[in-house]
Amino acid sequence: MCGIAGFLTSGRSNPDRSLLARMCGRLVHRGPDADGYFCAPGAALGHRRLSIIDVAGGHQPLGNEDGSLQIVFNGEIYNYQELRRDLIGKGHQFATRSDTEVLVHLYEEAGERMPEYLNGMFAFALWDARRRELFLARDRFGEKPLYYTFAAPGFPFCFASELKAFAVLPGFDPPLNPRALTDFLALSYIPDPETIYDNVSRLEPGHSLTVSAAGGGRRRRYWMPVFESGTTPSLDAAVEETRALAADAVERRMISDVPLGAFLSGGVDSSAVVACMASSAGPRVNTFSIGFTDKSFDELPYARLVAERYRTHHREQVVTPSIDEVLPVLADHFDEPFGDSSAIPMLYLARMTRRHVTVALSGDGADELFAGYRRYYFGHLEQRIGALLPDWAKRTVVPLSARLYPKLDWMPRVFRAKTLLHNLSQQIGDAYFTSMSTFRDEGLEQVLSPHLRREALDAPPRARFRNRFAAVSHLPPLEQMQAVDLETYLPGDILVKTDRTTMAYSLEGRAPWLDHRLAELACRLPAAYKLNGTSGKHVFRQAVRPYLPPPLLSRPKMGFSVPLASWFRTRLRPLFESQVLDPQMEQYLSLDRVRVLWDEHQSGLHNHDRKLWNLFMLAVWDTRWRRAGSSEALAEQGVAAQ
């Protein structure tokens, strides 16, 4: 795992190497082991290295035989050995054992189609001196980040693994992106390709970008999930194919020249990873778990069942999450507002794991691909019920019932019919947005400052979400939800959380269930193979059932959680009041409305913990990156801030 950064220069001037070094200096946590730079007329590429494969020889930037191609690469290519053998057979000469060098020679063979041949997680930039073009690509699901801008003063084009690398560019002060800010408040993350800054983008998963030194760029989508099924295999055949691909995906991700382990939560997905690892020949598997003093959030007993069954070298830590301890890390490593509070326990897990290994496998991706989330079941059910209702009822009776039904936050979820009634009256895109969002519609409009309300709500988050569903409207309801999650929630929330929390401690995370071969199989399977009654991931569960303790297969899904509701009434109270209720936040928020939410939460009238957390993380980001931004830029240039 590494950090990359670079830029193109106008004409044939020599790039400023010291500026490139300062950009990479912001990425040291991604690559603490070494740095490297390539500077030539027209282009500058920088690299921070976390040594994983070919520790002695895999330094970057790395070129081909004559040096006309140079690459900086972040990630791992799991089929690089097969590709290397094929390229050697075609006459290519290799100077290292690294997977990075395979990319250079594969580009010579396949050009812009090169990413199609890769099984891995990656973000890279390759300078082609002959064509005077920079070729960038990002992996199929967006495991690795890649930001870029055409709007940095004095530079035709800049790229980096993280936004913070752009902060050192002279005069770089992009305006806020109002659309992204409202997306964040609504969804708790910012979907690709938007970022919190105008004129700065994330390269979307499964895309490449070619930028000419003469100006201009072209994007190309080289991969997308295809849900249309051909001949449907029998359930038994699907289970066997899933099992075989799962085992191979895990084995490929165990390639490493440094210590390796696995996160073990006690859920099906991470436990299945550990089971597959233990089945491979090799030393005892290192596993890592965290528990909580609050037993309602604690999964350690289930993790121990797996550790004991496979006799792993198991380490665990019981923590009492402290906002004072993690808040500086969240502020420094999430360069954009990010509202998934499970990043807090993930930070504790990553920190503990990094004390013992450099690489950790996770269970990310199985829920999205095999329909493991409860919201898929409810969304699927709502669409089936809605199809039975006459249009006049959906237009009149159901919306009226939804308005009149009390909002019973204090009752168990099974009794909360208000959202169900709303969703029955809506198309699937609107219904799914309602289920997924934190702030929505009137609530979002009320909390925004008048300025942002005017700028952002001509195309509100719901409308943008609706457009994503319109693009996949030919698919059945379940597949529509999965397709939208694969381009929004998975890369924007889950994978951002994993990448930033692991990289905060220079730990490489790998996700076997995001192997594209396994994903392509999952997309071909019918809904009945994924949702079985009220249970999701049916075919996946059947595939791993023989390897897991029975209690794991029947337990409800828990997930990482922290007690936000009580925190806002105790330890977070003074922080919220000083940061969110600060007059400077009026540029974003209607503080009068925020105070209403705050008072309702303090009184216990309503639980607004998710809304308050999003508002709090917006203020944390603003304090760390907007208010401090100009002072930091001056400091980077050696000028004392006034």
Q: Which of 228-237, 392-401, 425-434, 437-446 has the lowest mean pLDDT?
A: 392-401
Minimum mean pLDDT range among 4-18, 140-154, 576-590, 595-609: 4-18
Whole-angstrom distance, CA of residue 382 vs CA of residue 119 = 37
The answer to whether 368 touches 489, Cβ cutoff 8 Å, is: yes
Which amino acids are annotated catalytic? 2
DSSP letter string, 430-441: HHHHHHH-SS-H
Token pair 């998934």 in the structure block, residue: 340
The per-residue pLDDT for 282 is 74
pLDDT tens-digit readout, 611-638: 999 999 999 999 998 876 544 544 454 4
Contact criterion met (CB below 8 Å) for 362 and 501: no
Rounded Cα gap, residues 563 and 297, in angstroms: 9
Backbone φ, ψ for residue 241 (5° rounding) = -65, -40
Integer Cα distance of 364 and 367 in angstroms = 8
* Residue whose pair of structure tokens reads 């303090």 in the numeric block: 602
The CA distance from 256 to 235, in Å, is 35
What is the side-by-side order of every strand in the sheet holding 207-212? 62-63, 69-77, 120-128, 133-138, 207-212, 217-221
- The angle, 0 to 180 degrees and rounded to 10, between the axes of the packed helices 461-471 and 178-187 is 80
Local confidence band at 423 (pLDDT 50, 70, 90 cut-offs):
low
pLDDT tens across 198-217, in order? 999 999 999 999 999 888 89
**Amino acid code (one letter) for 189:** Y
Cα separations in angstroms, 37 against 6, 19, 30, 46, 537: 9, 11, 16, 5, 45
Q: Compute the distance between CA of residue 547 and CA of residue 554 in angstroms, rounded to an integer.
A: 14
Going by pLDDT thresholds of 50, 70 and 90, the confidence category of residue 47 is: very high
pLDDT at site 631: 44
pLDDT digits (tens, 9 = 90+) for 531-541: 988 789 999 99
- pLDDT per position as a tens digit, 94-139: 999 999 999 999 999 999 999 999 999 999 999 999 999 999 999 9
pLDDT in tens, 589-609: 999 999 999 999 999 999 999
Answer whether 160's CB lies under 8 Å from 4's CB. Answer: yes
pLDDT in tens, 50-106: 888 777 777 899 999 899 999 999 999 999 999 999 999 999 999 999 999 999 999
Domains and CATH numbers, the chain: 2-221 (3.60.20.10), 235-370+497-554 (3.40.50.620), 374-486 (no CATH), 564-636 (no CATH)
Nearest to 219 by CA among 339, 143, 136, 117: 136
Q: Confidence class of residue 424 from pLDDT cuts 50, 70 and 90?
A: low
Judged by DSSP in three states, 136 sits in strand
Strand partners, 508: 359
Residue 316 pLDDT: 95
Token output for 459: 């195309």
Q: What share of the chain is helix, strand, coil (3-state, %, to 5)?
A: 50, 15, 35
Cis peptide before 193 (omega within 30 of 0): yes
In Å, how far are 194, 231, 553 from 560, measured between CA atoms? 27, 38, 18
| Residue 76 in tokens | 């791992």
Supply φ then ψ for residue 454, to 5 degrees.
-70, -40
CA dist 393 and 384 (Å) reads 15
**CA 584 – CA 342 distance, rounded (Å):** 28
Contact 294, 562 (CB under 8 A): no
Alpha carbons 191 and 204: distance in angstroms, whole number: 9
Average pLDDT, the chain: 89
pLDDT tier for residue 461 given thresholds of 50, 70 and 90:
very high
Task: Using the predicted structure, report yes or no on whether residue 238 has a pLDDT greater than 90.
Answer: yes
* Confidence band of 382 (pLDDT split at 50, 70, 90): low
At 499, is the pLDDT very low, low, confident or very high (cuts 50, 70, 90)?
very high
Cβ neighbors of 632 (< 8 A, separation 6 or more) are 167
Measured from the Cβ of residue 592, the count of other Cβ atoms closer than 10 Å reads 10
Identify the pLDDT of residue 281.
65
396, pLDDT greater than 90: no
Position 428 pLDDT exceeds 70: yes
pLDDT band at 323 (very low <50, low <70, confident <90, very high): confident
For residues 246 and 544, is the Cβ–Cβ distance under 8 A? yes
Return the exposure string of 34-60: e unless at least 16 CB atoms fall within 10 Å of the residue's CB, then b: ebbbbbeebbbbbbbbbbbbeeeebbb
Predicted TM-score of the model (pTM): 0.92
Is residue 527 pLDDT above 70, yes or no?
A: yes
Q: For residue range 288-312, what is the model confidence (pLDDT) as tens digits?
A: 999 887 766 678 999 999 999 999 9
Q: How confident is the model at residue 562 (pLDDT cuts 50, 70, 90)?
A: confident
DSSP state string for 329-368: HHHHH-SS----TTHHHHHHHHHHHHTT-SEEE--TTHHH
- pLDDT for 400: 52
**Closest among 366, 419, 423, 297 to 540, alpha carbons compared:** 366
Task: Determine the Cα–Cα distance for residues 548 and 363; give it in Å rounded to an integer.
Answer: 14
